[in-house]
Amino acid sequence: MLFAAVIFVLVSGISGRASAQQQGILIAGATPTQPYALLRGCNQVVSDAPNGARLAGMVTLVTPKDSVSSIWRFNNATQTFQVGYFADASAPTDFTVMGKTAAGRSTETYFVCVLKAATIVGG
């Protein structure tokens, strides 16, 4: 039974990263083998992703995943911060997808807030 649980955890972790990689989410300064360190608090992260990629895909690139409390971005047009992800799935968010509504890719800055030290890999 323990063996099956370990395999499930390993497959779940791998499939989560594969999902983000399939979406084409890239993180500046990070590669699949050289992660970028996230310190406790909110960290500025620059991503390049296909327009419409789910923001939850970025969470799958963070280890440990339970360290992510929220992900924010600054909307320059409204001069406000908008939240795209909360660890509590029932909390309201302002957006759930990355980039613009048009086809193509967008490079954007996000603030990934973590409860403890973590790392993020590039897709």
34 backbone dihedrals φ, ψ, rounded to 5°: -125, 90
User: What one-character DSSP code corresponds to residue 65?
Assistant: G
Contact 81, 73 (CB under 8 A): yes
Q: Which of 5-14, 25-34, 106-115 has the lowest mean pLDDT?
A: 5-14
H/E run at residue 19: helix 2-23
Average pLDDT for 82-95: 97
Question: Given a cut of 60, is residue 7 above it in pLDDT?
Answer: no
User: What one-character DSSP code corresponds to residue 97?
Assistant: B
Is pLDDT larger for residue 94 or for residue 5? 94
Domain count, the chain: 1
Nearest alpha-carbon partner for 91 in 71, 109, 73, 110? 71
Contact 43, 58 (CB under 8 A): no
- How many Å apart are CA 88 and CA 57, to the nearest integer? 16
pLDDT tens readout for residues 35-86? 999 999 999 999 999 999 999 999 999 999 999 999 999 999 999 999 999 9
Q: Which amino acid is at 109?
A: T
User: Is residue 20 very low, low, confident or very high in pLDDT (cuts 50, 70, 90)?
Assistant: low
Give me the domain span that covers residue 55.
2-120
pLDDT at 12: 41
- How many Å apart are CA 79 and CA 46, to the nearest integer? 19
